Amino acid sequence: MTLPGIITRLVAVAALTAAMAGCDSLFNHLAENNLDPNSTELTLTGISAPLQIRRDDYGVPYIEADNISDLAFGMGYAMAQDRLAEMTGMNLLARGRLSEMAGAVAVDMDKYMRTLGVTAIIEQRYAALDDQLKQHLQHFSAGVNAYIEQHRDNLPLEMVISDYQPQAWQPSNTIGIFVLLNLGVGFNLHEELGFLQFAQKFGWQKAAYLAPVYPDEAIDFSEAEKLAALQLDEQALESLAQQITRLGQVEQQLKAINGQGIAASNNWAVHKSRTENQASLVANDTHLLLTHPSTWTLMAVNSPEYSGVGITLAGVPALVAGYNGDIAWGETMVMADTQDVFLEQLRDNNGVTEYLYQDQWYPVSERREVIKVKDDEDVELLVQSTRHGPLLNSALQGVSKHEMIPPGMSYDYGLALSWTAQYPDKTIESFFRLGQARNMAQVEQALNGVGFIHLNVVYGDKDNIGWQITGNYPLRKKGRGHFPSPGWSGEYDWNGSWGGEQTPRQVNPSQGWLGTGNHRTVAAGFSPTLTSSWYYPERAERIAQLLNTSKKQNFLSMQAMQADRRDIFIAKVQQRWGDEKRWADIETAMQQLDDDEQQQARFILQRMMEFNGEMRETSANAAIWGALEYSLTRAIFLDELGPDDGELWRVFMSLNGRAYSAYQDHVSGRNNAPFWDDVNTPEHQESEAEIIVRAAAEAYQHLQQRLGDDADAWQWGQLLTYHWQTNTTKMGKHMSGVKAYAVEKLAHYTDRGPYPAGGNRNTLNVAGHDLGSDYNVWNIPAMRMIVDFSQDEPLHLVVAGGQSGNPASPHYDDGIDLWLSRKNRNLPINSAEKVQRHYHQVTDIRPSSR
């Protein structure tokens, strides 16, 4: 299940579910009504010739048609079978209409999306599509709508409980899914807003240490100082902080559903000269939210004009990553900074809001939006914009008509958002052409047209490998956009965009491989600025470690790399702390502890210094390192950013998990790092060594409390866990009373886990959690793909969960054990005989004679 569309009507059945001894049986009864037979025959209007939807033992569809129009229809029908509720919810979210399905809990998100003007972006981009792609989306929509009409009386569980009747799928809705993907992989809006909150507490210079760029780059004082010169008074900062806190609450909701600003993915390709079987290898695992169903859906397709197998998003009739018989490709995020916040000076001039720009006052542009709310009154929203974009403050405007909706706020400073969505491009067409590419040159040409999504694409054929960055990047007149800019001077404005054929790329490098892990893939100081929010470098360094060997690579070595759980940051810390002088400081600091704490700290540090970094779920040393990082994060920062249930700590947790962090920067030895001192002891300035030994003792006590007294029995997976939860469950924390209770009851039916986890944020087999907060994994490899061109059927692919969004389906969760095994499975596409044997459940769809 996907979005909180079940919530409103779920309250109506809460009493019934509470009264039932086994309330899961009610949900299962409702869900089973929506299941289709494994094999059947259908007669439908909207196609010109017969087509087949075949499925394998995991429910993965293989759609075959005589022409691309009928193929698109079949893709729509099959996708609706698997994920109609998800498609519907995501479309409503993109258009700022989720409240129509979910009620008041979604109003804040709708206000935010309306403020961004996403619906206008969707329609503008759809209007600019070429006729061929419009027709493709129209036929896809016809397939979705054929399914909806056939299932009006047996809709997905979410829609039954919420009493929501889905509207006909529109061709432009696919564009909305792409816009959500862009928002999900866009940076660094959250960092800019967080920086303003940190600056209010610590001042601009100290706050900059909480947003480092990269280990070998200086703290970004130049960006911080552009705001320091503004000398905003305390009242102005307080007003901004209140607004940003409200925006942060909306962002948290969006993050739970859409993974806003999540670092995603590894990919690499090995040239045939470095492989055991003299054929290229291409691998990709995208790191996204741990959610249920998986972000990705699997699909194989075959028509004369378009064929292949891979992953896509529910609502997108094209392969996002995969293999098409000639080419394989996969993506990671560039971590691109494509969103800039501009501070605007505002004033009220006889009822007209004006903003200052180059010594003149201009009226903001305004539009009014009406948000329809299920079982509640409509919400009116006034959206205001400056030349720099919509004022995010608008998302906080409007009269509150519900306890969950924040009241309107007055302000002297606005937060305007510039976003590369303003630049037209050919992203949708280009992704479609990418799936049709038959050689390396065609791949490069297709990727040149991708402007709206900023990716590291690694690709290859049997004999070649390549890497290319995609996307349009803003050309800033001044500054790098890392922190908010004053809007009134005009000196930090954008001056168009850069990208396309100019982006970095490489084919067949002499080292024999290419790979990315959201790290800095260009030289420090590269211009124009791609981002200031690169991810931790360790995953990319581990890729290089494993590929820079004399060993010839093969499918099994690729699978082992994707399963790899060695954190190489530990070795860096061991080397630094093991320095003779530094270890002497640590020994001296330990002498200041009482006997018990000294013994505890020594035990933790000795075990940590001996640890090889293998973050296995059964490892005691992995648990020790994980607990030490937990305690060390809190020991360094909680005294100034706490309490741990406060807004500043929440923001800090968010930044730590999304980009190279202040925690890792401090521990790596940043000169003059200011947060080591404990401000609760003003009579004494703590050294780094004192904080380390204090954290080590606290880590021992933490493990003892959580896992017991027997240190040999400690296991990392007893702390770190995977929990497959629906987006409805994740939204439950934003509810109270009977609604929260009803969602909790539903979660018993829809959610899976928890399961012991291994790895951490630095391992190739990533397991991202909020370091210093809890051990709940939220960032995982949402898919794992390996293409071995030496095999007749090269593609091997799994997703983190199941194909179906229906909890009554065996394919709702049958992929979890496979994913947990860290193994892969083959999906054939080249051999008709293997295809028929593998995809053995057949639905024949014939055209209606009417």
- Show which residues are catalytic: 265
* Least confident among 179-183, 356-360, 536-540, 611-615: 179-183
The secondary element (H helix, E strand) that includes residue 22 is none
CB-CB neighbours of 820 under 10 Å: 16
Structure-block tokens of residue 643: 């309490």
pLDDT tens across 441-459, in order?
999 999 999 998 999 999 9
Q: Please say if the pLDDT value at position 784 is more than 90.
A: yes
Q: How many H-runs (helices) and E-runs (strands) does the chain carry? A: 28, 30
* Least confident among 106-120, 213-227, 634-648, 720-734: 720-734
Average pLDDT over residues 106-135: 94
* Segments of 252-364 assigned E as strands: 266-270, 281-285, 287-289, 296-302, 307-313, 321-323, 328-333, 339-349, 352-357, 360-363
pLDDT value at residue 263: 62
Give the Cα separation of 208 and 224 in Å (integer): 6
Confidence of residue 81 (pLDDT cuts 50, 70, 90): very high
pLDDT tens across 381-411, in order?
999 999 999 999 877 765 444 444 444 445 5
Average pLDDT over residues 690-695: 98
Confidence of residue 237 (pLDDT cuts 50, 70, 90): low
Q: Is the peptide bond before 486 cis (omega within 30 degrees of 0)?
A: no
Do 550 and 275 form a contact (C-beta atoms < 8 A)? no
Confidence of residue 180 (pLDDT cuts 50, 70, 90): confident
Tell me the range of 108-122, 185-199, 231-245 where mean pLDDT is highest. Answer: 108-122
Confidence of residue 17 (pLDDT cuts 50, 70, 90): very low
pLDDT value at residue 401: 41
CATH classification for the domain delimited by 569-720, as one of 1.10.1400, 1.25.40, 1.20.120, 1.10.3470: 1.10.1400
pLDDT value at residue 733: 75
Confidence of residue 156 (pLDDT cuts 50, 70, 90): very high
Q: Please say if the pLDDT value at position 190 is more than 90.
A: no
pLDDT tens across 326-355, in order?
999 999 999 999 999 999 999 999 999 999
pLDDT value at residue 330: 98
Give the chain's end-to-end CA distance (angstroms, integer). 36
Q: Please say if the pLDDT value at position 467 is more than 60.
A: yes
Domain coordinates in residue numbering, the chain: 569-720
Residue located via tokens 């940590």? 608
Confidence of residue 161 (pLDDT cuts 50, 70, 90): confident
- Exposed e or buried b for every residue in 32-46, given b needs 16+ CB within 10 A? ebbebeeeeebebeb
Q: Please say if the pLDDT value at position 15 is more than 50.
A: no
Confidence of residue 250 (pLDDT cuts 50, 70, 90): confident
Structure-block tokens of residue 142: 């016809």
Chain mean pLDDT for the chain: 91
Confidence of residue 850 (pLDDT cuts 50, 70, 90): low
C-alpha of 102 from chain center: 22
3-state helix, strand, coil in the chain (%, to 5): 40, 20, 40
Q: Please say if the pLDDT value at position 238 is more than 80.
A: no
pLDDT tens across 23-72, in order?
678 889 889 999 999 899 999 999 999 999 999 999 999 999 999 999 99
pLDDT value at residue 731: 78
Average pLDDT over residues 277-294: 95
Q: Please say if the pLDDT value at position 546 is more than 80.
A: yes
